[in-house]
A and B are shown apart, each in its own frame.
Chain A
Amino acid sequence: MHKIGLLSLLTLFLAGTVFAQDKFTISGTIRSKAKGETLIGATIRVADSKTGTSSNEYGFFSVTLARGEYTIEFSAVGMQTKQEKLNLDRNITLDIFLEEIAEDLENVTVYASRKRSLSAPIMGVEKITTNEIRNVPVLFGEKDLLKVVQLMPGVKSAGDGNSGFYVRGGGGDQNLILLDEAPVYNASHLLGFFSTFNSDAVKDMTIYKGGMPAQYGGRLSSVLDIKMNDGNNQDYNVSGGVGLISTKLNLEGPLEKGKSSFLVSGRRTYADLFLKLSNDSSINKNTLYFYDLNAKLNFTLGKKDRLFVSGYFGRDKLGAANIFGLNWGNATATVRWNHIFNSKLFSNTSLIFSNYDYKVSVAAGGNDFDIFSQIRDYNLKQEFQLYAGSRNTIRFGFNAISHRIRPGEIRPSETSYINEQLLQKRYSLENAVFANDTWKVSDKFNLSYGVRLTGFTILGSGDYFAYDDEGNVTDTFSYKRGEVVKTYINAEPRVAASYQLNTLSSLKLSYARNVQNLHLLSNSTSSSPTDKWVASTNVIKPEVSDQYSVGYYRDLGGNEYEFSAEVYYKDMQNQIDYRDGADIYSNSDAVESQLLFGKGRAYGAEFLLRKKMGKLTGWLGYTLSKSERLIEGINNNHWYNARQDRTHDIALVAMYQLNKKWSLSANWVYYTGDAVTFPAGKYVIDGRTVYYFTDRNSYRMPDYHRLDLGATCKLKQTPKFSSELVFSLYNAYGRENAFTINFRDSKENPGQTEAVQVALFKFIPSITYNFKF
């Protein structure tokens, strides 16, 4: 019913544009002159008015105005504003090139990051620029955009060194991470200490904290949309860096100047090269490395078409000589085609391939075996952006994804005593159709409304099961290849409204429903690459969340500061957890036997104050929140705190441009410890102390806080070559933050039991040398 209503509204608007004869459209693409890179979110404003638009994710813009003379202002972060005077008596196409602001200005009054829009009817969204990623000090000097995202209010880090994150009380698997539209299933290297993103080649990064517009879907809590650079189509560029842990190299340049370009970016760690120097064969046979490789080609085919081909390949290899090996990685490839139909209609077609797999190798003296698991997607996405009239922008399209999961395959060697075991492959189709209209109702009131209709179809071949209350299989249903097991259909309405109170402040509210059909089963304290991705089945229902939020936004100090306050409430259904004593390494087709289901709720208030101009920039964020679960069979069917429930979460980030040579940065984080289960008593079994647990997650880990410092020193700076040294100190005052708390019998006082805290990092310094040709 929603769909019919939306279609009729759509028709009305389209009809409206046809009959307004005295309106013409200015459209085109906005780019950087020096590099030819398209500019995302650049502002196109009609001087002395409130009319305007912003460029889309491919740099395309379109604005419809009445016949007349106008001065149009084009601006973007870090770029000089350009003005174009024109006489609008027909549709005009403009290709705009903006010049970069020269870096030798003494008084730096440049925006550190893009100005957020008070009027845009979208909330729960934060944009982070490459500058901010570059300047925030991080562990081992490895610039990591995921660590910077964790400094935003509402986004909580999964723990020391861990690149996993939780958004508004949701689980770690409820975040959709997109790299040039391809989903990345495991964005962590080295068991979670580093992320898979090479921040040097990133153009734009946006995080949607639940209220995403209808073109996004598939995960409950957030979408992290990362866009890579296209590649300088004017000049060749070589840049790179040498750090303590890894080395990276970026190469970009034109294939045909102004028309096509390439970008190759790679990173590799080399801790293992040092291991090879050892004479001890138990050390030099160990492997410990990871690499990332991003490659991109883009072609401009005429005035209306652009083609992009991009790929990402990354792998981690951990191995202990001849005993054990762990190898995992992502591979994604996308082909995208932009087509501009006319001044009002932009289209993007994407074909996406995404693969994540891991392999565990165990060699036990002739009893070798491998465990292999994989998730593979083929994805077709079609999106139209219709800039209908001067008041409406309509996005609509469809998305069809085919998922194939190989949950686990045990492959022994010839002499091994382990039997071969192949879990059945799981097939499913995730289809969605969406439409969203952003409607400028009046000068003060903007509305965005849309719906995403998803159908998740589980297909054979395969066996699916029915269970009793204890998780024992009671029935088996066998399906042939291509036979439909079950289809789940869900409508996800997405509505947001903004009301501009005055030029400096606005009020926004939104409601969004999200559905998730891929679930990550994990039971460890830190995310493990061997966590299992499982699709919805006849027993595992799609997770559903409803999020309501209200926000107040204000610009302070004459545009120097941005303040926002948002309050949200999120309801989650069909949440999954493991039974007590579940065998998570069990390799059985009947995976649901280990699972329990229930619901969750999360609510909180987020405050953010951002300083965007001047020598000192940065932000202060504070979140007050709660996240709970109620799962049948856990905690006596009472609500319990989710592990990631943290009452207070504070992040203070400061970046200071001291002079032309030096810039300094610091960040301080503080958060309430995770909710944990501690013993309520102890007893003796088999002569040893065993701990007795009652309530789940009713205790707290100690509070976590940490200060990181960083400094960048610019060395040679000539047009042909520039270099810099980056210093950082992680955990500058050496706070021992608890990573785990264990219990054991005391050796000093026999008979007494003690709690032992393990902390990871203290005072970790690092130096990185970066260069650019």
Chain B
Amino acid sequence: MLRISLYILGLGIFFSSCEKVIDLNLDAAGKKFVIEATMDSRPGSATVLISTTKPFNDLSSFDGVSDATVTIAEEGQAPVILSETSTGIYRAMSISGTPGKLYNLVVKIGNEEFTASCRMPYPVTLDSIFVEEENIFGEKMNIVNVEYTDPLGKGNAYRFIQYVNGNKESTIFVRDDEFSDGNKISARLWYSLEEDEENRINSGDDVAIEMYCIDPAIYKYWNSLDRSATGQTQSASPANPVTNLRGGALGYFSVHYVSSKSIVAP
């Protein structure tokens, strides 16, 4: 919140600046594996995406990695094998998340092994959402407000995904309860307009908000990704997001509780 405000108030508004696309000569590093593993309480939700990093000048696309062995095990239970449904995408129907339980992920690719654990948080759902117009330095914008009640006890973290007419907003919205433990929260999902303003919420738009209850390690992942790996960074030293994967892969393993609400923007 503080960070967003500083960015808004920063140079972009007061001083006119110039932007231009430049050519950079960037060396490509050796390939690293990227594992994006998610699961929620619905059967069939367990999905693991495996790909690799690509050189900067290559086409940005998801190049899946096949022939990996992927398993997820609930603590005290036998591991469930996820099978490759399309290149690089591994799924299973027979496992889903139960709040409070610990899950272990094991991915074997060639002779490399990557593991992670994540405990599924207890459900917290949105009390309500509403759209309000905000006025910042003359720019009028519709902002979604989310309301929910944080349970007492530090360690709750949340991620929100905003869909406008089915289009996902690219801004990463994550919150924790470090400053608001146990309270009724009413928070604004601040975002900035893209150059072509395609992500603006207009009157009459269908707005849907998904709320994820996430593990604190995943909050740290999204927070550090947003701060230093999106390419638009205020950080003096960009770095890779803090991952809960062990073994040297990029990405994360998150078991979360999902709920959603939708409204029409007035």
Contact = CB atoms under 8 A, between A and B. Distances in A.
Interface of A: 191, 280-283, 286, 288, 318, 320-321, 323-324, 326, 360, 362, 364-367, 369, 371, 410, 417-419, 421, 522-525, 528, 530, 577-578, 580-581, 583, 585-587, 643, 677-694, 696-697, 699, 702, 736, 739-747, 751-762
Contact of A758 (B17, B23, B229, B241): B17
Given A360-B2, A365-B186, A684-B60, A758 B18 contact: yes
B56 A643 contact: no
B22 A367 contact: no
A753 B236 contact: no
Interface string B134-155: 1111101000010000000000
A366 B187 CA distance: 11
Interface stretch (B28-36, B92-100, B110-118, B119-127): B28-36
Contacts of A365: 132, 145, 186, 188
Contacts of B140: 282
B127 to A, nearest CB: 12
Nearest to A643: B236
A282 B136 contact: yes
Nearest to A421: B179
A410 B27 CA distance: 44
A684 B62 contact: yes
Contacts of B3: 585
Contacts of B236: 522-525, 643
Interface stretch (B8-16, B69-77, B202-210, B258-266): B8-16
A667 to B, nearest CB: 21
A682 B168 CA distance: 21
B232 A742 contact: yes
A522 B237 CA distance: 11
Given A288-B14, A524-B234, A696-B237, A580 B224 contact: yes
B121 to A, nearest CB: 19
B152 to A, nearest CB: 11
Most chain-A Cβ atoms within 10 A of its Cβ — which of B53, B137, B223, B231?
B231
Contact of B138 (A282, A680, A747): A282
B233 A693 contact: no
A691 B231 contact: yes
Nearest to B10: A191
B232 to A, nearest CB: 5
Given A581-B239, A682-B54, A683-B54, 13 more contacts: A365-B188, A530-B2, A578-B237, A580-B224, A685-B36, A685-B250, A689-B231, A690-B241, A699-B24, A753-B60, A756-B20, A756-B22, A757-B19
A753 B56 contact: yes
B232 A364 contact: no
6 contacts: A282-B137, A421-B179, A677-B239, A690-B250, A757-B20, A757-B21
Nearest to B62: A684
A362 B137 CA distance: 16
Which 5 A-B residue pairings sit nearest by Cβ, starting from the closest? A581-B224, A743-B231, A680-B29, A581-B242, A282-B135
Contacts of A756: 19-22
Given A280-B138, A320-B136, A421-B179, A523 B235 contact: yes
B164 to A, nearest CB: 15
Nearest to A762: B18
A689 B60 contact: yes
A173 to B, nearest CB: 13
A176 to B, nearest CB: 22
B246 interface: no
Contacts of A578: 237
Contacts of B104: none
A678 B24 contact: yes
Contact of B240 (A524, A580, A702): A580
Given A323-B5, A530-B6, A525 B234 contact: yes
A685 B251 contact: yes
A369 B187 CA distance: 13
Contacts of A320: 5, 8-9, 136-137
A759 B18 contact: yes
Contact of B6 (A528, A736, A739, A751): A528
A751 B62 CA distance: 10
B19 A585 contact: no
A327 to B, nearest CB: 12
Contact of A583 (B59, B135, B223, B230): B223
A580 B225 contact: no
A283 B136 CA distance: 8
A757 B24 CA distance: 10
A700 to B, nearest CB: 10
Contacts of B178: 586-587
A364 B175 CA distance: 15
Interface string B141-181: 00001000000000000000000000010100000001111
B24 A283 contact: no
Contacts of A739: 11, 17
Contact of A580 (B31, B136, B239): B239
Contact of A643 (B11, B14, B185, B237): B237
A530 B7 CA distance: 13
A321 B135 contact: yes
Nearest to A412: B179
B79 interface: no
B24 A410 contact: no
B55 A683 contact: no
Contacts of A702: 22
Given A684-B62, A693-B229, A760 B24 contact: no
A525 B237 CA distance: 8
Contacts of A754: 21
Nearest to A678: B26
